[in-house]
Amino acid sequence: MNVVIIEDEKFAADHLEKMILKYDKNIKIAAKLESVEESTKWFRQNDEPDLIFLDIHLEDGLSFSIFEEVKITSPIIFTTAFDEYAIRAFKLKSIDYLLKPIMQEDLNISLEKYKDWNKSNKTFIDVDSLFELMTNKELKYKERISVNFGQKIKSFNISDVAYFYSEKGISFMVTHNSSEYPVDYSLDQLTGFLNPNEFFRINRQLLISMKSIKNIHVFPKSRLKLELHPPSQKDVFVSIDKVTKFKEWLGE
């Protein structure tokens, strides 16, 4: 069986590959793709795989954009941090979905489900219908977030948050008044929960709010260095592959 993984987080893609091969070492990972552009190019040049693992949010847009460029009939297992509405849509329109962070047991169940689906010769998913469900729904983003504070739980308005960052696998929230708390969500999950007009994932470690940006410095080769408020303990650069989208986000 040939499998393609479409996921813009390298660590997540590598981890998923290891779990797939743990399930069956004979499965061939035909490609690991990180963006809409890269995926579109790959599908134009290669035969379709037996199965696709597909993240929804990619570095250059929603993965549904791939299907606007190329016709794909392969079955799909979605990997997602989306809300319950989206999960219901995935249940109706896809073979299966895996909610991040992905567990080995859940992956095994999805692959068994694929085998049963494949044997039954069922028609595979209607991507257009799923895309319509996703884009036509009224999006509701988180307005509050709760954190553990000692032996208590404290709740904050999302508008109080300057940025989120990840370090050694743990996510932290920094508020505009310089308070800092660990949170139970990954940056992938937070990206799905928060209004994209207000928050932007500038690199693998940082998800910032528009209000946290104090200054932007332009470096050679179009590199952008940000001054945040409150200040970050490390230099903050926008990933090269996100610079164009970041500038668009600032304009919006």
Nearest to 143 by CA among 126, 155, 129: 155
pLDDT in tens, the chain (252 residues): 999 999 988 888 999 999 999 999 999 999 999 999 999 999 999 999 999 999 887 877 778 888 888 988 888 888 876 655 456 556 655 677 787 778 899 899 989 988 888 776 555 566 666 666 555 554 567 889 989 877 888 899 999 999 999 998 889 999 999 999 999 888 877 887 788 889 999 998 999 999 999 999 999 878 999 999 999 989 999 998 888 889 988 885
- Measured CA to CA, the distance from residue 4 to residue 222 in angstroms comes to 32
Residues 222, 216: Cα–Cα separation, whole Å: 12
Domains, the chain, with CATH or none:
2-136 (3.40.50.2300), 144-251 (2.40.50.1020)
Which helix (H) or strand (E) segment is 75 a member of? none
Per-residue model confidence (pLDDT) at position 85: 47
Smallest CA-to-CA distance from 1 within 39, 30, 22 is with 30
pTM over 0.75: no
Distance CA 106, CA 112 (A): 10
Q: Report pLDDT for 240.
A: 87
**Of 37, 30, 33, residue with least CA distance to 65:** 37
User: Number of C-alpha atoms within 13 angstroms, CB side, residue 185?
Assistant: 18
State the burial class of residue 219 (Cβ atoms within 10 Å of its Cβ: 0-12, 13-18, 19+).
exposed
- Closest among 2, 44, 60 to 201, alpha carbons compared: 60
